[in-house]
Amino acid sequence: MIRTRTDGDVRIVTLDRSEARNAIRPEDLTALSEVFERSETDGSPPVTYLHGAGDAFCAGADLDAVAALDDPAAFARRGQRVATAVEESPTVVVCGVDGAARGGGVELALAADVRVATPRATFAEPGVSLGLFGAWGGTGRLPRVMREGDALDFALSGRVLDAEAALRTGLVSRVVDDPRTVADEIAGGASDALAAIKRRIRDRRDVEAQERAEAEAFARLHDAHADEITRRRGE
């Protein structure tokens, strides 16, 4: 179900189970985890583009698999591991949502660095209708991405947000016809700067530690790009 390929400075990761709207089974979580954890050591391009095949991004966890779980906590932890691997990937992860993102699909998107929707994208956390909720790290990430009130409304109601509502609430940062173009745009930046920006913005330590790391990263980049900075001074 998980396909990967490289196109220039962008690695493309495709959820490819379109007949099931890319619903995720336990074995798919294992494959996704391997893809994103491997990027730490395999010299992956600086940007990863995550998207779904067919007319949906991801319908969430496969309900047949959920109904058959004998260890639901282990399943939740496996999903959390995948979302953490996406969030902590050394590459910048751009998630392109075209069509439906539901439940675990929303949680995968939340773990990405940049979320971009097409005009026909829709988002929902329908788990509450089954007596469940998104447990792949979504309860922690959702209020960091949206305002807490919007996050509670979204998760508690199970309502569907269209692309414009997702943009208004901060769930996505852009609505475009082709989200892949955003990945290409970001990949045009210097790879070391992209990685440094991601690390600094993702830093959850105290302010003093964040600012010290920020200054050190800036100094490293300044030294690495001194010639280019000098060349462009007069532009």
pLDDT digits (tens, 9 = 90+) for 141-170: 999 999 999 999 999 999 999 999 999 999
Choice between 206 and 117, residue whose per-residue pLDDT is larger:
117
Instruction: Say which residues have a Cβ less than 8 Å from residue 67's Cβ, sequence separation at least 6.
Output: none
- What are the structure tokens assigned to 195, written together? 């990685």
Give the 3-state secondary structure of residue 172.
coil
Q: What are phi and psi of 61, to 5 degrees?
A: -65, 140
Strands 2-7 and 92-97: unpaired
The residue whose two tokens read 């302010």 is 207
Distances (CA, A) of 70 to 32, 80, 119, 146: 21, 18, 39, 33
Rounded mean pLDDT, 176-204 = 96
> Average pLDDT in the 166-193 region?
97
Beta bridge partners of 56: 100
pTM, rounded to two decimals: 0.90
129-133, 147-151, 175-179 — which is least confidently predicted?
Answer: 129-133
What is the side-by-side strand order in the sheet with 100-102?
56-58, 100-102, 122-124, 161-162
CA angle 30, 36, 40 (to 5 degrees): 130
Contact present, 79 and 61 (Cβ < 8 Å): yes
pLDDT for the residue 145: 96
